[in-house]
Structure formats: structure tokens, C-alpha cells
Amino acid sequence: MTESARKVEPVTVSSNLWYISVLCVLGWMIPGSGHLLLKKPKRAVTFFLCIMILFFWGMNLGAKIWHYERQQPLTFFAMVAQTGVGTPYFVTRAVGTYAQNHSEFYFYPFAGRFNFGQGVISNITFEYGNTFTWVAGLLNFLVILDAFDIVMKRKE
Amino acid sequence: MTSHFLLMTGFAFLTSIVIALVTKKTPREQWRYFWKFFASLVAIALLIGWIMYPFPLR
């Protein structure tokens, strides 16, 4: 088969639609899990570790957990970038909210590091933290697209 | 840790790994691209820092 013929090879999207959807949603919820489904464990573990380290390192530096504020529409993009990491974003947000009223909670000190989701603006590393968490989410979007390309046979 | 340089290097390191794995196919290409990307991020950050050095903070 020539190179040009290989490029136009049709991909049966409709038959794999459920599989592709599960792959992308799972890949979003747990970074790297899409590649794990595709039997690429080394890549999966590397993606998982890199994205998790970036996200939790960012939170530890005092990042804010962003959510949409109508008065400041640009916060929407910050929220979308952070939600890219999937489950860790929602877990961290829940931990921050819960720990605020429960000082005996095991993760209270961790939640205190990012001021229970409000971020530590006075911290010199506040903007670093935000950047780390945003980029972690955006990288996970790239990882999901990579898994999508593999399942569509555009990439190995 | 509040060292700006170490934070920036750590960020560049982790980001470069993901970018290299996503964009290149063979391990050799990924390895080469990782170093190129990592070095570029660190070098450009240092260069911009150096250019901004004469500017006052306030």
C-alpha cells in the first residue's frame, strides 16, 4: 500500500463511537488512563505522573481553584484550563470546601496551603501556582487528543 | 520552595516530557525533542529575564 493510499484509509467511527467516547471521558477524568486503555502503560504512567505533579505542586504553591464569576468573564478560561485535569480538580475543590469548616479533617493542612480554594494572593508563588495548574489541565487536553489520534489510527 | 529558577526549571521539565511524548513518534525523536524544548524554555526565560533586568520594579 502506498503512503497516499494509507492516508485516505477510512476509519469506522460509528462502530467505535462508544469506545472513543469512553476513552476520551476516562482520559479526561484520570490523566493518562486513555493511553492505558490503548495498552500503552509507559506513556500512561508518564502522563499521569507529570500532570499530577504539576497540578498538586501548583496547588501547594498557593494557586486558586477557579470557577466562573459573572463579573469577571475571563475567569471562565481559567476554570476551563483547570478542569482539564478532571477528577483531581473536583476532588481538590471538594476538599477545600469541606476542610474550611472541619479543622480535624486529615487534609486540612493541605487545604490551608491554597487557602481552601481562594488561593494565597500574598504568596510570591501565587501566579506560579496558577500557571502550573492551568498548564496541567491544558496538557491533559493534549494527552486526550493524542489518545484520540491513536484510536483513529492517525498515530501509533 | 520559592526559588524562581528552580520552579521554572521544574515546570519546563515536566511540560517538556509531555510535549515530547505527544508530538514525536519514535523514542529517539522524543528524547531529542525533549532536550530541545526544555533547553529552549529555560534559555528563553533567562534571556527575557536578562532583558527585563534594567527595568525598575515600580
Express each pLDDT in A13-72 by its tens digit: 555 888 999 999 999 999 999 999 999 999 999 999 999 999 999 999 999 999 999 999
**B36-41 own/partner pairs: CB under 8 Å, 24+ apart:** B38/B12, B38/B13, B41/B8, B41/B12, B41/B15, B41/B16
Q: Report ipTM for this prediction.
A: 0.89
pLDDT tens, position by position, A89-130: 999 999 999 998 888 899 999 898 898 989 999 989 999 999
- Counting as low any pLDDT under 70, the low residues of chain B are 1, 58
Residue-level pLDDT at A8: 47
Q: Any idea where the domains of chain A sit in the sequence?
A: 14-151
CA of A146 vs chain B CAs: smallest distance (Å):
6
From B16, which residue of chain A is nearest by alpha-carbon distance? A50
Backbone angles phi, psi at A109, to 5 degrees: -60, -40
Residue-level pLDDT at A155: 83
Residue-level pLDDT at A78: 96
For residues A12 and A48, is the Cβ–Cβ distance under 8 A? no
Q: Does B22 touch chain A (CB under 8 A)?
A: yes
Q: How confident is the model at residue A5 (pLDDT cuts 50, 70, 90)?
A: very low
Name the pTM for this structure: 0.88
Contact check, Cβ <8 Å, B10/A146: no
Q: How far apart are CA A79 and CA A90, in angstroms?
A: 11
Contact check, Cβ <8 Å, A143/B25: no
CA of B36 vs chain A CAs: smallest distance (Å):
18
* Residue A10 pLDDT greater than 60, yes or no: no
B18 contacts in A (CB within 8 Å)?
Answer: 46-47, 50-51, 139, 142-143
Amino acid at B45: A
Quick one: which of A155, A143, A150, A154 has its CA closest to A19?
A150
Residue-level pLDDT at B6: 93
B11 contacts in A (CB within 8 Å)?
Answer: 54, 128, 131-132, 135
In sequence order, the β-bridge partners of residue A69 are A72
Torsion angle (degrees, nearest 10) of CA B8, B10, B13, B19: -70
Question: Within 10 A of A31 (CB to CB), how many other CB atoms are there?
Answer: 29
Contact check, Cβ <8 Å, B21/A46: yes
Q: What is the mean pLDDT of residues A69-84?
A: 95
Which of A3-12, A26-35, A76-85 has the weakest average pLDDT? A3-12
Residue-level pLDDT at A1: 46
Which helix (H) or strand (E) element contains residue B23? helix B4-23
In terms of Cβ atoms closer than 10 Å to its own Cβ (0-12, 13-18, 19+), residue A119 is buried
